[in-house]
Amino acid sequence: MLTVTNVSKTYGKSTVLSGVSFELEPGSVLAVIGSNGAGKSTLIKSIVGLIRHDGEITIGGHSVTRDAKKARRLIGYVPQQSTLPPDLTVQEAAVFAAQLKGVDVDRARKAVESAGLEAHADRKVSALSGGMNQRLALALALLAAPPLLVLDEPAAGLDVSARLGLRKLIEEQRALGTSVLLSTHWIEDVPHVADNALILDSGKPVYFGPASRLATDRAAASRLYLRLNGKTPKALSLVTAATGAETVNQSGDWLVVTCPADSKARVVETLVSAGVPILDFRVEEAPVDEAVTRMRQAQEALR
Amino acid sequence: MNGMTVILRKELRDAVQGRWLLVFAGVFGLLALTLSLVDRDAGTTSAQSFNRTTAGLINLCLLIVPLLALVLGAGAIAGERERGTLAGLLANPVTTTEVLLGKYFGLVISVWMAIALGFGAAALLVSPINPLTGAGHYLLFAALSAGLATAMVSIGVLISVLSNGRTKAMAIAVAVWFGLVLFYNLGAIGLALAVSSSGQTLLVAVLGNPVESVRILAVLSLEPDLAILGPLGSYLSNEFGQGRSAMLLGGNLVAWAAAPLALAIYIFRRQDA
């Protein structure tokens, strides 16, 4: 569906993307991961044809530079920040998008409904909340049932329930045979939503392969802070033995556990089962920089 | 409906909802009425008076229309880019050329509508005071204003493509307006006279500015005797005659509309969104 071959982008002497190549099969999901400035958005904008680049990108066999119109007909794009005309109402924006995509305007009404915005159809786009705006952008991206859905940081600014809704949408689209490419900071979500992951570090690809490796290679590590009532030493040995946590440290009343993102619940479960009361807890999600460093080190070790 | 038509229609809708079109028509009509009342107080006959009002209107158009067209053109791409909506537009199955032409023609038609409303409002307000006797001239002046607007929107869109912010684009547009409308006579034409006062040099100076081309075209339509234009008139009369002079100046206006637009498309196609 999507073929990216040796794509690079430079601004003056600064290289923001360097030698990125991969393929995205129909019906599969690829997550592009990297910290700020890693080149995720540059890669996505190159794929959508919004910025000029070196190398070749084809969508359904159409080059995004030489055959931009045909290539874009196959894309549904949701950018990081709203690009919908703020002066239009929700309904007008939907009709405008339908006309630009060359689909029946009846679908515009259905898109507004599918975004759950029928009650806001006459409101200006500029008056929508961030969440509403993104729901509308997603619905409009899907107007022409594109075979490739490109989402730039779709989870940014979303609450937990909206993130779960997004996961569901990605699963539904995959089931329909749509290829999905998304960039994200939320590394712990990736093994659950994506088939493959591409990790970028300063514009260079440091990993491309199964997303499940992020879990097995412990790239998606979380840090748990647990305040326990005086039973910290017991908890320390319990957690170390039972959960495969990487590091377990004591800091006053607090136990600091670094573990794979999907083992957090097991840590809590182990303590509760052993009768260790948890008075308070706090979770720090895996910093993407750390994950990138881990994956880069893992790749280097393999060479 | 192709992408260009969709974008053109949105521009027209924005122009109507933005109300600047009606404001322009209203202001233009009131200024025309003021001119007419001044002429009536000067004691001229009705027919003379209407022609004088018409001539006054063209001077008004030479001031207002370029400003309106340049500013609107300058906001076209720079504004979309600044709001982030340009990327959203270009992520659709449209080419960069379709986007630019859609916006250009949308703005041009909007300004034409504003001019038509302005001249219409002026005719409605003025005709009870000075009966309409020179309708042909009046319509010709409206057409010349529309032609000037077409060229000025083109220059404005070029400024917009070259600018990296709406405010900067607006500032450049206003500076260009000052240059073409207010300082050109003093600058370029003064320089041409200083270098050589020949009609040929003056013609080159006139062709270098679409506002001057329209000014001379307007004079040609009102005054068959080209001698009124001094050395330039004598040169035009000897070399081209009235008809071919009008064609030369009209062709120059078309070139001023086409060339900046073509350059804007060339640059825009090579830019990142």
A26 has pLDDT over 80: yes
Residue A124 lies in a domain: yes
The pLDDT of residue B162:
96
Domain locations in chain B as residue ranges: 3-269
Least reliable range by pLDDT among A271-275, B102-106, B128-132, B137-141:
B128-132
Enclosing domain of residue A241: 221-285
- Residue B95 has its nearest CB partner, among A69, A82, A97, at A69
Element (H, E) at A275: none
Which of the four pLDDT bands, split at 50, 70 and 90, describes residue A24? very high
Q: In angstroms, what separates the C-alpha of A101 from chain B's closest C-alpha?
A: 6
Residues B208 and B203: their CA atoms lie apart, in Å, by 9
Q: Do B91 and A83 touch (CB under 8 A)?
A: yes
Residue A295 lies in a domain: no
The pLDDT tens digits of the residues spanning A44-80 come to 999 999 999 999 999 999 999 999 999 999 999 999 8
Residue A145 lies in a domain: yes
Let me know whether A100 and A204 are in one domain: yes
Least reliable range by pLDDT among A163-167, A260-264, B141-145, B202-206:
A260-264
Let me know whether A107 and A254 are in one domain: no
Residue A15 lies in a domain: yes
Q: Which of A167, A192, A216 is the last residue of a domain?
A: A216
- Residue A72 has its nearest CB partner, among B1, B86, B93, at B93
Q: Which chain B positions have a beta carbon within 8 Å of A96's beta carbon?
A: 6, 10
Give CA A98 to chain center in angstroms.
26
- ipTM of the complex, rounded to two decimals: 0.83
Burial B106-139 (b: 16+ CB within 10 A, else e): bbbbbbbbbbebbbebbbebbeeebeebbeebbe
B251 has pLDDT over 90: yes
The pLDDT of residue B159:
98
On average, the pLDDT of chain B sits at 85
Residues A20 and A201: their CA atoms lie apart, in Å, by 11
Residue A135 lies in a domain: yes
Per DSSP, what are the bridge partners of residue A182?
A31, A151
The pLDDT tens digits of the residues spanning B200-249 come to 788 888 899 999 999 888 888 877 677 777 777 777 777 787 788 889 99
The pLDDT tens digits of the residues spanning A130-189 come to 888 988 999 999 999 999 999 998 877 777 777 788 888 899 999 999 999 999 877 777
Q: Output the six-digit token pair for A27.
A: 């019906």
Strand order from edge to edge, sheet including A14-24: A14-24, A2-11, A54-59, A62-63
For an interface test with B, the pick among A82, A99, A104, A150 (most B C-beta atoms closer than 10 Å) comes out as A99
CATH number at residue A176: 3.40.50.300
CATH number at residue A233: 3.30.70.980
Residue A117 lies in a domain: yes
Q: Which chain B positions have a beta carbon within 8 Å of A97's beta carbon?
A: 92
Look up residue A245 and give its DSSP letter: -
Least reliable range by pLDDT among A35-44, A95-104, A264-273:
A264-273
Residues B106 and B13: their CA atoms lie apart, in Å, by 9
Least reliable range by pLDDT among B37-51, B80-94, B153-167, B209-223:
B37-51
Residue A293 lies in a domain: no
On average, the pLDDT of chain A sits at 87
